[in-house]
Every structure is written in structure tokens, then in C-alpha cells.
Amino acid sequence: MPPAEARALAPARELVTAAVARLRDAGSPSPRLDAELLVSHAFGRDRAWLHAHPDEHLAPAEAAALASWLERRAAGEPVAYIRGFKEWLSLRIATDRRALIPRPETELLAESALAEIADRLARNQEIVNVWEVGTGSGALGTALAVRFRTALALGRIRLSAGDVSPEALELAAENLAANGVSGLVHLACGDLLEPLTLADAPAADLLIANLPYLTSDEVARREGSIGYEPALALDGGPDGLDVIRRLLRELPGRLAPEGVALLEIGEGQGVGVLEEVERIGMRAAISILPDLAGIGRVARVALL
Ligand SMILES: C[S@@+](CC[C@H](N)C(=O)[O-])C[C@H]1O[C@@H](n2cnc3c(N)ncnc32)[C@H](O)[C@@H]1O
């Protein structure tokens, strides 16, 4: 990469070409996407703008910032931490090392939750109590609050989101505020359902959770962004299901009659969820919802 002063003279298209080469050499799995995201960020614009303005030039200070971001990315830091945000489900979610970066696969959990709530509102359920466990950056809670802003304001939906990490909850509060929905979501710190139990919250009609489900071995390998994200957000124990099993054991008595829990799971973990539900003796119908690639991503546990 030429020094920042020389690069400042280069047009956007050449900056992208040089950035792709640098990131490809460094072993990035997505050098073009990363390069375009970082170069457009240096211009304070998005990728569509970058494609439409290949001849624009950066000021020297912006070129110097870009050079340092490229080195951070070359060292393995995720683009979302470098830019400080991620576009997720049409929202801008602030991201930093306090919490997991929201993943595309979690959009299925969000869409399933949106559909469950819409269905209950359509059936004129008086109040829909929704809990999110392990909110992290607050991406899911923010998505629900933005979509159901009016129903929340009117008290038709009550939404609480918890996390055991106080740092993650700080970020969640920032994301709710940035998306104009603070005050509509109750945030609580503690282990699994404990904060909601202590607050004497009503039983949940819908519980959603994207809890850690990687195996400890996968986390220890620190591949990709995992080396930069909090282990607390990722490590689900020897087979990935430790935290999810604990949550399932806490569900009886906390889910309302006809209540539904939607749990994001890893590939092949549906069987483990089924076995745990049987072991507890919970009377529930379980379905595993697949993503577009046919991989089971969400376990839907509906009380009978
Ligand atoms: C995989 S991240 C998901 C974050 C966010 N919901 C998302 O989808 O991007 C899991 C989250 O669960 C939280 N967590 C882990 N163990 C927990 C526990 N025992 N009780 C509550 N939250 C927990 C972590 O701090 C982390 O924020």
C-alpha cells in the first residue's frame, strides 16, 4: 500500500483495488466486500455511492484513517468493529467489543418473532408479554420495538430484554436510543430468566433467545471475528447446548399457557433441544425452522 499522502491523490476506484489486494494478501475471506465497506466508510458514504463515484478523492486525514482501518482488518478485526456499526434487518446497529456482532442468520429468529407477535395482536390478545434473553447489542429487541412501536406505546405489548453482561446491556441501551425506542423496552441484568423472575414480571407469551451455542472447541479456535467477540456471547460448552439447556429447564412456570419460546440454535442442535424438553417432561410441540439453505436455525417450543 503506498503511503497515505500518495493514496490521497488516488481516486476511489484505485483505493478499492489496492485495498482488495492488501486484504486478499492478508487472507480475508471477503476482500472485495471488506475493501468497499472500509473505503466507502472513509468517504462517509455507503457502497452504492462508492460505485457511483469511482473518481472521487479522499482528503489526507481520511486516507490516513483508511490506511489504519485496513491494517486492523488485515490483522483480523471484524469490519463491524472497525466501522462501529452493522446494517442488520434494515437497522443500523452500533457494534463494539462489548457484544456480539449481529449475524445474518439471526434475521430468521427476528422474523419468526415478528410473525408470532403480529399473529397474537391479530387474534386480539389483550397484552402480549415478550421477553428476550441474551440481548447483547440489543439488535433483536430494537427490531421488535421499531416494528411494534405503537403497540408498545399503547401497552398492547410489553417487551423486556435481559443479559448477564452489564457491558452488553449498555450497548443495547445505546442502540434502543439511537433507533428512537428507548423507554419502550425494559432492560434487566442477570442470569437467564432470573432478572425477570425477580421483577415479578408476568409469564411470557413469547420468549426469544439467541444464546451462546458454539462449542468451547470452536470458540478456542478463535477463527474469524470470534477471536474479537466476548466469549460469554459464544461459548455454549462441550456440545454448545449448555446455556440453552439451562434456559429450557427454567421455562416451566415462566411461559404462559400457549406460550412459545423461539431459540436460535446451531446446525444439528435441534435433536439436543428435543431431548432436553423430553427429559424435563415439558408438554410442548417442537419444530425446527430452517433458513434459506435448509439449515435448522430456530427451535420453536410451543407449550401444549
Ligand atoms: C450469541 S449472543 C447474542 C446477542 C444478540 N441477541 C444477537 O442476536 O446478536 C448471546 C448473548 O447472551 C448473553 N448471555 C450468555 N450467557 C447468558 C446467561 N446465562 N444469561 C443471560 N444472558 C447470557 C451474552 O452476554 C450475549 O450477549
- CATH number assigned to the domain comprising residue 110: 3.40.50.150
What is the Å distance from ligand 1's center to 162 Cα?
A: 8
Between CA 7 and CA 88 the distance in angstroms is: 31
- Do 160 and 25 sit in the same domain of this protein? no
What's this model's pTM, rounded to 2 decimal places? 0.94
* Best residue for ligand 1 mutational test, from 95, 164, 297 (most atoms within 8 Å of Cβ): 164
Mean pLDDT along residues 143-147: 98
Q: Which grid cell sits at 48?
A: 452504492
- In the chain, the number of structural domains is 2
Residue 3 binned pLDDT confidence (cut-offs 50, 70, 90): low
Residue 225 binned pLDDT confidence (cut-offs 50, 70, 90): confident
pLDDT for 251 beyond 80? yes
pLDDT averaged over the chain? 94
- Do 121 and 70 sit in the same domain of this protein? no
* Best residue for ligand 1 mutational test, from 81, 86, 89, 100 (most atoms within 8 Å of Cβ): 100
Q: Is residue 255 part of a domain?
A: yes
What is the Å distance from ligand 1's center to 95 Cα?
A: 14
- Do 111 and 68 sit in the same domain of this protein? no
- Output the domain CATH number for residue 18: 1.10.8.10
Helix/strand/coil for 28: coil
Residues in the chain: 304
- Do 279 and 165 sit in the same domain of this protein? yes
- Residue 60's domain comprises 4-76
Nearest to 298 by CA among 163, 236, 208, 206: 208
* Cell 478456542, located at residue: 220
Nearest to 204 by CA among 119, 284, 127: 127
Mean pLDDT along residues 197-216: 91
Residues 6+ apart with CB under 8 A from 76: 224, 227, 228
Mean pLDDT along residues 15-41: 97
- Do 108 and 71 sit in the same domain of this protein? no
pLDDT for 8 beyond 70? no
Q: Return the bridge partners of 214, or none.
A: 235
Q: Is residue 140 part of a domain?
A: yes
- Do 121 and 176 sit in the same domain of this protein? yes
C-alpha 5 chain-centroid distance: 38
- Do 134 and 46 sit in the same domain of this protein? no
